[in-house]
Amino acid sequence: MATNIRNICTIAHVDHGKTTLVDFLFRQSGTFKAHQDVGERVMDSDDLEREKGITILAKNASFHLGDTKINIVDTPGHADFGGEVERIMGMVDGAILLVDALEGPMPQTRFVLQNAIKKGLKIILCVNKVDRPEVQHGDAIQQCVDKTFDLFVELGANDEQCDFPIVYACAREGWCTEDPDQVPAIMAGEGPRNLEALLKLILKLPPPRTRSGASLQMLVSNVLYSDYVGFMALGKILAGSIKRGAPVIRHGIDETTGAAKRENFMAARLYSFVGMEQKEVQELNVGDIGLITGCENFKIGDTLAGDDAVEVLERIEVESPTMQMIFSINTSPFSGTEGTAIQSRQLFERLRNEVYGNPSLRLEPTDKNDQFSLLGRGELQFAILVEKMRREGLEFMIGRPVVVYKYEDGVRKEPIERVTLDLPECYSGDVTRLLQGRRGVLMMYENLNLAGKEPWVRLIFEIPTRGLIGIQSRYLTVTRGSGVISHELIGYKEHCGVIANRTSGSLIADRTGETTAYALNQIQERGVLFIGEGVTVYEGMIIGENAKDVDLNVNAVRGKKLTNIRTTASDGIVILQGIRKLSLEACIEWIDDDEWIEVTPKSIRLRKKVLASNMRSVRKEDRLKDS
Ligand SMILES: Nc1nc2c(ncn2[C@@H]2O[C@H](COP(=O)(O)OP(=O)(O)OP(=O)(O)O)[C@@H](O)[C@H]2O)c(=O)[nH]1
Ligand SMILES: [Mg+2]
């Protein structure tokens, strides 16, 4: 029965502790067997998620509290994956909003809360990380609650939503309390260390909102794929029920014309969530969240209906992409030597499959038939996809991300973001200059006075999305690695004018061969090297950053002339200093419009789009005009 089900999700800014909390909800509800060693952040099951320590995909699971089944969706907190969160909210009726006691509400808190309020969810506030030392003095916890309350009001929450229950938690140790005064005692080991208070509040959340009618009605919130059963439609059963083998109507749309399109199929298999697993069931009932298979063409937003009388639901809309990146087949000289150098059709199909399961992405052709434009939400979203494709053994190239403009009445408008930066006060001048240099406008300057800590400030800027490309590493350099930055799309404005990207040029290999320490030793005086000795390079490959603003073609493979007589033992030993190995993300931030990143399973190389040194200009203005 639907009354014995609660459908909830965890929402928060990145790293505020959602996945950690879900671990303990599982443990304390007895989802894992006593002897089962499940490790930390079990919902982050994907390899990349574990490596990066962030949630990328929203994931469903369930646990039982008495005879009530709790379906829970753990959502990603990073802004680039906001599209996931938006559509997940349609499936649930309640949300646990986590806010870091010290940081307070952050940009993504606002974004997810806004969506939760719009969807009419009942919200429980979980002030998390109350164990942080900085929180122990002063009134950080109360400030966090006040600021969150203000945010509810500002975002137009109704009275009932504003009257949210609060727990004060340390998700990492699996405890919470409704009484903030109890926190010191519990930390001293003098109080109950469990999530009882939160579990009780979860049971008080409303049962699933359903519709009347005996026939199946489901809105497809996500499409999953397994090699074993093929495509699976994920969603909440809004009305009726469905038995295995029953006929279903899929109300979709024609992708090219956008016209309504229907299709009949048999529900081949049904799955429901039990713990973290998908368990095959014979029937799915109203209110439950489950998976239906039997059709190849499921699309997010489709309505699945038991018969013709069932109303077709409004399709899920997600905000349109703000950034795009060109994906190209690998045209470099070493193509195919380290992985599978795919043809353009294969590249297109691989990207199309990705877009299929993620409506916040869009794929468009370009004027070149071996290049495709992928439109999405941000640099991290692209970097994750690139890393995934690379691990599948593929070789390809990507260009510098650029923003997606909107045209309204013939006026070019660009996406604008609100950026929140928390940093030690001493760097605020440098950071302000960095942001202003990218057309950022300072909107707020707030002192974050935390006892026992050097003075920190929070700066809020409005800045074109364009200005944020490549800012992360520069911001971290300016703040000596200590600053926190996050951003959120707030709308579109008229184009703000030119923003200079990197001012430095590239050091470029002028011939093929293996690099030598001897050659690199001389080159390193010009700037910073990205590679060391013994690396095979090709003409047009970038090996470092030139300190000046022009490109410089260099011979990196030059060897010292061999002589018959060796001089001293130390002769010829050169020490290369400070080689800057760029990660994929760093490469994406660094490159210019006339450069590519070549991605293979083994290497990430930077190169010029035009390889032959005599075919390209070294002056920046000329180069970027050409491209
Ligand atoms: N001190 C402290 N750290 C915590 C607490 N809860 C979580 N953390 C830490 O915060 C970090 C982020 O936790 P996650 O659970 O991955 O956060 P998340 O909200 O799921 O992050 P995303 O899914 O990437 O948005 C981890 O290093 C946790 O160990 C807490 O109560 N206290
Ligand atoms: Mg997480």
In sequence order, what DSSP letters do the residues of 514-565 get, joined into one string? Answer: E--HHHHHHHGGGEEESS-TT-EE-TTEEEEEESSSB-EEE-----PPP-SS
Contact 121, 89 (CB under 8 A): yes
Q: Is the CB of 129 under 6 A from ligand 1?
A: yes
Contact 248, 294 (CB under 8 A): yes
Q: Is the CB of 6 under 6 A from ligand 1?
A: no
Across the chain, mean pLDDT equals 89
Q: Which ligand places an atom closest to the C-alpha of 128? A: 1
> So what's the pLDDT on residue 626?
44
Q: Is the CB of 49 under 6 A from ligand 1?
A: no
* Amino acid, single-letter form, for residue 279: K
Q: Which ligand places an atom closest to the C-alpha of 21? A: 1
User: pLDDT digits over 467-476, tens only?
Assistant: 988 888 789 8
DSSP string, 19-55: HHHHHHHHHHTT-S-TT----S-TT--SHHHHHHTS-
Give me 381's structure tokens: 């979203």
Q: Is the CB of 55 under 6 A from ligand 1?
A: yes
User: pLDDT digits over 404-415, tens only?
Assistant: 998 888 899 999
Q: Please give the distance, rounded to the nearest whole angstrom, from the Cα atom of residue 434 to the centre of ligand 1.
A: 29
Atom index in ligand 1 nearest the CA of residue 170 equals 31
Q: Output the residue whose Cα is nearest ligand 1's atom 32.
A: 129
- What DSSP state is assigned to residue 186? H
User: pLDDT digits over 533-579, tens only?
Assistant: 999 999 999 999 999 989 999 999 988 755 544 444 444 556 667 78
Pick from 91-95, 320-324, 495-499 the range whose average pLDDT is largest: 91-95
Atom index in ligand 1 nearest the CA of residue 21 equals 15
Within 8 A by CB and 6+ apart from 177, the residues are 167, 168, 169, 183, 186, 191, 192, 197
Q: Please give the distance, rounded to the nearest whole angstrom, from the Cα atom of residue 386 to the centre of ligand 1.
A: 25
Q: Please give the distance, rounded to the nearest whole angstrom, from the Cα atom of residue 49 to the centre of ligand 1.
A: 13
Q: Please give the distance, rounded to the nearest whole angstrom, from the Cα atom of residue 329 to the centre of ligand 1.
A: 38
Candidate of 9, 10, 11, 15 to mutate for ligand 1, largest count of ligand atoms within 8 Å of Cβ: 15
Query: 175: closest CA among 188, 192, 200?
Result: 192
Cα distance between residue 279 and residue 275, in whole Å = 9
Q: Please give the distance, rounded to the nearest whole angstrom, from the Cα atom of residue 19 to the centre of ligand 1.
A: 7
Contact 375, 323 (CB under 8 A): yes
Task: End-to-end CA distance of the chain: give it in Å, rounded.
Answer: 61
- What DSSP state is assigned to residue 614? G
Burial 119-156 (b: 16+ CB within 10 A, else e): bebbbbbbbbbbbeebbeeeebbebbbeebbebbeebe
Residue 485: pLDDT band (50, 70, 90) is confident
Q: Please give the distance, rounded to the nearest whole angstrom, from the Cα atom of residue 95 to the centre of ligand 1.
A: 17
Within 8 A by CB and 6+ apart from 153, the residues are 162
Q: Give strand ranges (E) for 189-243.
A: 217-219, 222-226, 230-239, 242-243
Q: Is the CB of 58 under 6 A from ligand 1?
A: no
Q: Is the CB of 20 under 6 A from ligand 1?
A: yes
Indicate the length of the chain as a whole number.
Answer: 627
* Torsion-angle region of 81 (φ positive above 0: left; ψ -120 to 50: alpha; else: beta): alpha
Q: Which ligand places an atom closest to the C-alpha of 17? A: 1
User: pLDDT digits over 283-314, tens only?
Assistant: 999 999 999 999 988 988 999 999 999 999 99
Per-residue pLDDT, averaged over 102-116, amounts to: 90
pTM: 0.84
Q: Is the CB of 108 under 6 A from ligand 1?
A: no
User: pLDDT digits over 46-98, tens only?
Assistant: 888 888 888 888 889 999 998 999 999 999 888 788 777 888 888 999 999 99
> So what's the pLDDT on residue 230?
85
Q: Is the CB of 557 under 6 A from ligand 1?
A: no
- Which of 31-40, 128-137, 315-324, 398-407 is least confident? 31-40
Q: Is the CB of 193 under 6 A from ligand 1?
A: no
**6 sits in which H/E element:** strand 5-12
